[in-house]
Amino acid sequence: MQRTEISTLGEFGLIRRLTEDLPEPGPATRKGVGDDCAVLSYPDRQVLVTSDMLMEGIHFDLVYTPMKYLGYKAAQVNFSDVYAMNGTPRQLLADVALGRHFSVEDMDELYAGIRLACERHGVDLVGGDTTSSLTGLALALTCIGEADAADVAYRSGARPTDLVCVSGNLGAAYMGLQLLEREKAVFNTRPAASAQPAQPDFAGREYLLERFLRPEARRDVVQALREAHIRPTAMIDVSDGLSSEMLHICHDSGVGCRIYEERIPLDYQTAVTAEEFNLNVTTCALNGGEDYELLFTVPLTDHERVLALPDVKVIGHITEAQQGRLLVCRDGQEFELKAQGWNPLKD
């Protein structure tokens, strides 16, 4: 691949290259890239804002993460936070800091991923900052979205008897990460003289890799809820693991919950791979993180309607706070939910 030093373009040249030919912005974007601020217009809507920071070596490993996937995922992670408010993402700002060993082509790839994610979710890339780093790559993305005031789903609205629902399946991204880490270890320990390039053993596990490397924020679920006239009482996206997110909802809503182990949705590949790694698959689903599924509560009266939704499962219900936050296992035993989610500051 061609390698162009970033210094040949300079900061403004690089920004121009990365943001040229952006698609026509949506009606809420009055001015996108190219001034001190982007200018947005939300006359009758609530404005949602979220920000996420991704650091090389902490949140991603470039050994097995193509730049394009990284950009795509970073954008999706932000969109997911807006969907988790029952909103629609509209604009994205991307701050990127990069070391000297990155080329213009690397940045092209990163932005190609960001722009593809934006295109798929109808989001305008409206600004950001591009600068240098003494070491690795740092990304900070901010997403702006919108929602009707009455539709915004906070973490604090869950009420006793509400049903607890989750989209898709859980633990798959975590198992994808385990596979990638194992192959990296194999690669690093192969004989130096080996003429054979290491051949990753991912056959049949592509789904797990995709879940980790290229998650898709669940716009479809938010749309399905809207079409079914279901207004979630509380909602959060699963970034740190089911336990951690469920505890956020319980804490902020002042309630308890009962989650049934047997109802937690799992993909077949997740179960098989967990067994291979000698991991408890329920633990992976509870604490794995990075699934970017939606966890939400709905009134009991929506039971029929929520059962009719594609790719959504009811996994438990909300209780009074004093009944605790419980996981009910297959054998009927009850355990208190604990947040052992991914905590980069502790690991």
Tokens representing residue 256 in the block: 């308890």
Stretch that binds a second copy, among 134-142, 200-208, 257-265, 285-293 (CB under 8 A): 134-142
Q: Residue 176 interacts with a second copy (CB under 8 A)?
A: no
Q: Does 40 bind a second copy (CB under 8 A)?
A: yes
Under rule CB under 8 A, which residues in 293-322 are in contact with a second copy? none
Nearer to a second copy, 86 or 273 (CB): 86
DSSP of 208-242: HHHHHHS----HHHHHHHHHTT---SEEEE-SS-H
Here's the x/- map for a second copy, 227-256, by CB under 8 A: it reads as: --------xxx--------------x----
* Minimum gap (Å) between residue 191 Cβ and a second copy: 28
| Helix pair 206-213, 172-189: axis angle to 10 deg | 100
Question: Does 158 engage in binding with a second copy (CB under 8 A)?
Answer: no
For residues 168 and 152, what is the distance between their CA atoms, to the nearest angstrom? 22
**Is 37 a residue that touches a second copy (CB under 8 A)?**
yes
Q: Identify the bridge partners of residue 129 per DSSP, sorted by sequence position.
A: 95
The helix/strand/coil state of 201 is: coil
Establish if 123 lies at the interface with a second copy (CB under 8 A): no
The CA-atom distances, in angstroms, between 97 and each of 58, 102, 126, 263, 291 are 15, 10, 17, 42, 26
Residue 329 CB, nearest approach to a second copy (Å): 26
In one-letter notation, the amino acid at residue 8 is T
Candidates 40-48, 68-76, 184-192, 218-226 — which segment interacts with a second copy by CB under 8 A? 40-48
User: Does 149 participate in binding a second copy (rule CB under 8 A)?
Assistant: yes
Of 174 and 270, the one with the shorter C-beta distance to a second copy is 174
Total binding residues toward a second copy, as defined by CB under 8 A: 71
Distance CA 129, CA 73 (A): 18
CA count, 13 A, side-chain hemisphere, 236: 23
Query: Which span sits near a second copy by CB under 8 A: 6-14, 108-116, 205-213, 267-275?
Result: 6-14
Q: Is 333 in the site for a second copy (CB under 8 A)?
A: no
* CB proximity list for 133: less than 8 A, separation 6 or greater: 97, 98, 99
Q: Which is nearer to a second copy, 226 or 279 (CB)?
A: 226
- Which residues from 42-101 bind a second copy, rule CB under 8 A? 42-44, 46-53, 55-59, 81-82, 84-85, 87, 91, 93, 95-97
Distance of alpha carbon 223 from alpha carbon 242, whole angstroms: 22
